[in-house]
Amino acid sequence: MISPREKIEYDLFDYVQLTSALSSYANVRGKIGRLLASGEIIRLKKGLYTFPEYLRRAPLNPCIVANMLYGPSYVSQDFALSHYGMIPETVRVVTSLTTGRPRRFDTPVGYFDYQQRKAPDFSIGIQNIDTGHGAFLIAGPEKALYDKVLGDKRFDGSGVEDYLLEDLRLDYDSLISLNKQLLRELRSVARGRMTVLLDFLLGLSR
C-alpha cells in the first residue's frame, strides 16, 4: 500500500486530504487510528494533522500552523515582531488575532494563542507570505506593533519613546523604517492612546 506521505503534498493536512490518501483501505478510520498510534501522523486538533519531523519535506512553519489551526486569523504581536527582528527575544507562543472567539491550543508542535479583535483596523497591514511549502497571513511590522501596543495595558499614552525602546525593547532603526502610509491608514481609525503612539511614529525621521 502507498503511504499517506507519498500522496499528500504538504506537511500540514486536513481530514479530507487524509481520507482521500487512504481511500484504498476498506476501513479508513481504523487505518487513521493505527497511523496515529504508530506516530506516522500527528494530530494537532480534530481534523488537522502533520507528519513527524523525519517525514516532513521542510521545517514546519509555525505561522502556517497558526493560520490553519483557527481562522480567520493572522499572526501578530510578539511573534511577528520577533519574525521581523524588531525585538531581541525568541518568542515561544504564536499569538494571532481573530474575529472569532478567543482560543488557545497546546499542540505537539507548540503553543498558539488567539485574541479576538472586531474593529475597522482588523484587515489593515496584513501580509500574505508564500513560502513555497504553503502560505500564511501575518501582520506587517506596522500592524504587529500596533496590535502589540493595543493589547498592552502598560501603555497609557505617556512616555512613548521610553515605552517602545525600554519596555518593548524595540530596535530604533526598525521604528524609523516603518511604512508611513500604513501608519497613516492606522491613524485614520485609531482612538485614544493609539493616536499618541501613531503620531509619535509618524514624526520619526532618519
Q: Give yes or no: residues 128 and 98 share one domain.
A: yes
Q: Give yes or no: residues 39 and 137 share one domain.
A: no
β-strands 73-75, 48-50 pairing: unpaired
Q: Confidence class of residue 133 from pLDDT cuts 50, 70 and 90?
A: confident
Q: Give yes or no: residues 117 and 152 share one domain.
A: yes
Using alpha carbons, list the distances in angstroms from residue 99 to 56, 132, 204: 31, 27, 32
Q: Give yes or no: residues 32 and 123 share one domain.
A: no
- Whether 1 has a pLDDT exceeding 80, the answer reads no
Using alpha carbons, list the distances in angstroms from residue 110 to 45, 55, 107, 133: 12, 18, 5, 19
Interacting residues of 64 by C-beta distance below 8 A, sequence separation 6+: 12, 131, 133, 134, 135, 136
Q: Give yes or no: residues 120 and 180 share one domain.
A: yes
Share of the chain above pLDDT 70, in %: 98
Q: Give yes or no: residues 68 and 49 share one domain.
A: no
| Overall average pLDDT of the 191-206 stretch | 92
| 53-95 per-position pLDDT tens digit | 999 999 999 999 999 999 999 999 999 999 999 999 889 999 9
Q: Give yes or no: residues 78 and 41 share one domain.
A: no
Given this model, what pLDDT does residue 172 score? 92
- Whether 156 has a pLDDT exceeding 90, the answer reads yes
How far apart are alpha carbons 69 and 13 in whole angstroms? 11
How far apart are alpha carbons 195 and 206 in whole angstroms? 21
| Overall average pLDDT of the 96-114 stretch | 97
| 8-61 per-position pLDDT tens digit | 999 999 999 999 999 999 999 999 999 999 999 999 999 999 999 999 999 999
Whole-prediction pTM? 0.92
Range of the domain at 90: 62-202
Domain count, the chain: 2
Residues forming a β-bridge with 98: 73, 116
Given this model, what pLDDT does residue 16 score? 96
Q: Give yes or no: residues 17 and 85 share one domain.
A: no
